[in-house]
Structures are given as C-alpha cells and as structure tokens.
Amino acid sequence: MVVGDKLEQANTQADVANHPLDPLSAEEIDRAVAIVKASAGLTDNLLFETIVLREPSKNDVLNFHPGAYVPREAFLVALDSEKQEVHELIVSLDTNELLQSEHIEGVQPAFIFGDHQTNFLQFESKIKHDPRYVEALSKRGITNPDLVMIDPWPISNFGDEKEKGKRLAIGRAWLRREATDNGYARPIEGLSVIIDLDKSEIFEIQDFGVVPIPPEDGNYATRYQESFREDLKPIEITQPEGASFTVTGKHVDWQKWQFRVGYTPREGLVIHNVTYQDQGKNRSVLYRGALSEMVVPYGDPTNDHYKKQVFDSGEVGIGKCANSLELGCDCLGEIYYFDVSLYDITGRANTQKNVICMHEEDFGVLWKHTDNRIGETEVRRSRRLVVSFFTTVGNYEYGFFWYFYQDGSIDYQVKLTGVVNSSAMLPGAKPKHGTLVAPQVVAHNHQHYFNVRLDMMVDGQENSVYEVDTVRDPISEENKHGNAFSVKKTLLTEEADFPRKIDPYAARYWTVANHSRHNYMGEPVSYKIAPGENVLPFHHDDAVIMKRAAFMTGHMWATEYDRDEMFAAGNYPNQHSGGDGLPKWMSGNRSLENKDVVIWYTFGHNHIPRLEDWPVMPVAYTGFSIRPSGFFDRNPALDVPPSDPHCKCDGDCAC
C-alpha cells in the first residue's frame, strides 16, 4: 500500500474507535492532570499552561486501522509556582502512567490567567486598588479605580537584569466613562505597571509623565447608535436539502476532499490528513496544517511602547482565547459546529461550545466559456467549504479561515478586526509613528506576522521544493523582438537555501513536488505555495524583535520533518531573548531533496492605521494559497454540475 493510500485509510476509518489524532476529551484532560499530580513528585501548587494530545508518530497514524493499537498520550506543561519551575510531562492515557517528567530551565511559560480570565480579573482589581497605583491615578485626575481597565501584555526581553528569572507582564491601562463603554477611547498614557505573576503583586510602577485623558467617546455597540440604515433588504442563505458535507467524529468528507479537524490551545484550529479524490483514488496533499506562530511588533519608540511585540500564539495562546460562535453572526447558512475541550489553570477540564464553524459558501464563477460560433455557454458556480474560528486577544480579534475549493485549491486567510491599540498624546501634538484617530488618541503603526506550518504530503512523504520565477528572455536570434519570457525553476536542496523572500516582479511562487509521481505530461506532480499580501519588517536588523521573531525575516522556510519541531519561534517565546525555533533547527542544514518536507510560510500585514479604523476596525484580510500545479492531468472540476439544469436560452440571457 502506498503512502497516499495509507493517508486515505487513516482518514476514512470512521470513529468506530477514537482516531489517534482526536484532540483530548475533557475526561482525558482530567485524567492526565490527576496522573501528574499523583506521580510527578511536584508540589501542590501546579498551574497548567499546556494540556494537549501528544500526537502519535506519522507511521502509526498512516497505518492506523480499527483495532490497531496506537499509544494515546498527553503532553503537559506545568508551572510549579512554589519553586517557580517549568516542567514538561508526558503521560500514558492507556496505562495511566507518567512516562516522562523534565524540568525545563531558563524559560517562562505562556501567560496563565485562568478560565476565561477570571483569575486575572481578580488580580486586576487588586492592582487597581494598590495605594501606589491609586496615587498614580489621582495625579491624572482619576478618582474611581473601578473604571480603569488593565490589559496584561508580554514584557518582551531587553536584557534587563532585574527582570531576569521572573515571570512578568506589563499592565497597560485605559479608562471607561461608564462600566460598559469602550475604554480604549481613553488611554491612560505614561503609566505602566510591571506585574510579578508568580507573587501576584506589583513589581514596579513606571510613570513617564502625565498626559491628559482624551475627551471623546469611541462607542460602537448597538446600544450607543442613534440610528441604523433602513435600505437593507434581507439576504437569505438556504440549503433546503442540507449541507453537502458529512462529519463523522472529527472526520470531514466534502465533495472530493477528506480531512480531519483538530484543535490545540496554542495553535487553535488544526487541519489533518488532507486528501483529494482523483479518478477514484484519494491522493494526499497535506498531513498537518496550523498556525505555528504570530507576532505583532509596534513601531513607536516612546515610553515603553517599544516593548510592544506580542506573540499571540506562543505567549498567550490563541486557542485559549477563542470565541463561542453563534448562528447568523460569525457564520451563515447550514452550519456545523465543533466544540473543544479546554481547561483552567488548575487543570480542570471544561468544554467550550461552538468554537469551530464549518459551512459552504457560493464563491462566484468556477469556470466558464462561451462558444459564439455555436451559441453555447458553459458556466459552473464555485462552491467552497469554510472551516474557521475567531479569537479575541486583548483589543484585537482574529478570524482564521481554511477554504477548500472544488478545483483542488486551498486558501488560508486571516481576518483582522477589533479595536486598534490606542495611546494618548498631548493636545495639539501630532504623531510621527502613528495616526490620530480621535482627538489626542493615536493608533501606532504596527505589523502582524503569521507563520503557518504546513507538513506537506504531495502524493506521499518524499517531496522536494522549487522556487519558480518568471524571467525575461535575453534578446537573441530566437527572441529578436524581445517579447519572450519563460519560467526558471530552482531546486532548493538543503535548509541553508532558506529562507526565501517574495518577489512580485518575478511573480515568484514555490512548488512542493513529488519526483516519484508523474502527471499526464511526464512531469513530477506538485502543489504550489502562492503568496498573497506580504511585507518584510521595517525594524533594524539588530532590533530585539528580529532575534525573537526571526521567522519574520523571510517568507518561505523549509525543514526536514521532526516530530518535536512545531513552533517557528521555539517552544517558549515568552520573555525569551531569541534565536530559538527555525534558526536553531536549520543550523544543521539537513537535506531537503526527496525528503519529508515541512513548509513554514510567513506572511505579514502592514497596518498604518486609518481614521476609518476607529472606533472598531472593518475587517482586513491577509493570507496565501495552496494550489495544484501539475498535480492533476486536467481541470479536476469538469464534473461539477451546472447550477440550474433548466437554465437554457438563445442569445444573451441571464441564467
């Protein structure tokens, strides 16, 4: 049996028994925590930052069939708050045994604030009523600390010796006019509190000077709007016969696609075991795809704004911050929801409802041609399957979307919305590094970088990577008129060939090819990684963030598969000085020709705020595409039926 067939089998074995890639259930989370507490020899003061499935080896997954034994294990990261030690633990859920316990020195875990921020809200109240903080507020004319809201931000790492070894965060503050209005309209500029998370106390108050509180409201909620447009007619999206997909456990079957849905607290949505049916065979495309890391570096050098460089995945955990979605708001149509099992800081499991949304969308024309000579038009409507979730990290919302198309293409898209991070300025001042979005309110220039880890499996595990440029042919006897251009393909054979950068002037893209499988024209089958919007950092090369988030310095990265290499900035970016992750792993310069290749694609959104982004920003879109490029022998969507078989007419008509 070939590997592609194995991936099909791993997908299509219905959940008669739990599939090896199913996320941990609530019961398994509770059991894993109980095993650790009983067996690890740690203190009773454990806080749990990570509790996830330890995914089995690829070989076990690809050879899985009902009745086959695949070890079921959980991976945990626990903070022993009494000793201020981080421990990684592996437990067997088959034998209820602790398999491994390791103290990881010199690192800090991602933020641990409790279930739905309950723990931090209690902590926030303690901070706001600390006499030192109350005094700093009173200097600014703020007499009611209960109207102050404090957002915890990662503190970064700028080599401050007094911060070394301490688990810290920065508390940035805003003032509400009333309990339910938009507090981000009134930044409390110049006042930051450094929080010692281990001791649950203020480590330091930094006061850079008093700046008046901005005067205007910035409310966007329904209750604050005086009127609404009255010229909108209803749009109804109906599927009288139901959706075209089927779901068995976490396995999805739609059109010719099959895949599995997973989830982790750090990555959020994970897509496993992606295959596309071609001429009766399910052909493998992608073994695993998920957001590996994201970071938001800001561009203002004043006060402590230079420390704003949040790793929303590795320092916070976008999966922990996910929204529960509701019909008619985040998704429309015939919806299927997936619940997820999460946990609080004590390790107690809970189930969050409706986190992942799946539905179908009409997406315009799939293909069309009009043969005027015979008066015949053939057109097909495109339908796509959407799998998504939304997360709220402080002031920002991010929607992460996987789109599957009938022609074998996949799009990955991030939707950015929410409230831009706001700071205050003196009356009459104009910012150099941001935009005034309201009187005295500045939204600083910043960038959003996302790295998506794609464990490619193009018709099997032995893949190779090419860079593809369109080039101008030189003037010659064959190109006398200078009109010729052609394609230059460069095989990238080792990790030292990476990272690569986009080049829109060369229409650059990359392909992942399988040299052992050939298409109708005798060429290796391949899928291409096609850039969308992208940008490079504007930070200097020696800036701290360039070391901590080295994955921003290039767009296309590739490594040979390693089960333990999952996150582009390393396992513990919180307060880390940098150099971990991709640069560290690639230093061995492994071969990438005909190997089990992992692609790490980085894309950035450059956000120069606009007035129109205030007080809540319209969605901005960014992402990239994964498209067949010689994978199929011809258009695989020829068999998509016409939308309306009764739509027939002579001459010009609208069908």
**Which positions ≥6 away from 408 have C-beta within 8 Å?**
256, 276, 285, 627, 628, 631, 632, 636, 637
Whether the Cβ atoms of residue 449 and residue 492 lie closer than 8 Å to each other: no
Q: In a 10 Å sphere around its CB, with 0-12 CB exposed, 13-18 middle and 19+ buried, how is residue 45 labelled?
A: exposed
CB-count exposure of residue 115 (10 Å: 0-12, 13-18, 19+): middle
Q: DSSP letter at 488?
A: E
Cβ neighbours of residue 90 under 8 Å, at least 6 residues apart? 54, 73, 74, 75, 76, 98, 99, 100
Tell me, what amino acid is at 10? A
Closest listed residue to residue 284, CA positions, set 456, 529, 401, 409: 456
Which residues are catalytically annotated? 312, 396
Q: Which residues contact 128 (CB under 8 A, 6 or more apart)?
A: 134, 145, 146, 148, 150
Beta strands at 46-54 and 73-80: parallel, antiparallel or unpaired: antiparallel
Beta strands in 478-610, from DSSP E residues, in sequence order = 485-492, 509-518, 524-531, 556-560, 597-607
Q: Which residues contact 347 (CB under 8 A, 6 or more apart)?
A: 29, 30, 32, 33, 36, 37, 46, 48, 51, 78
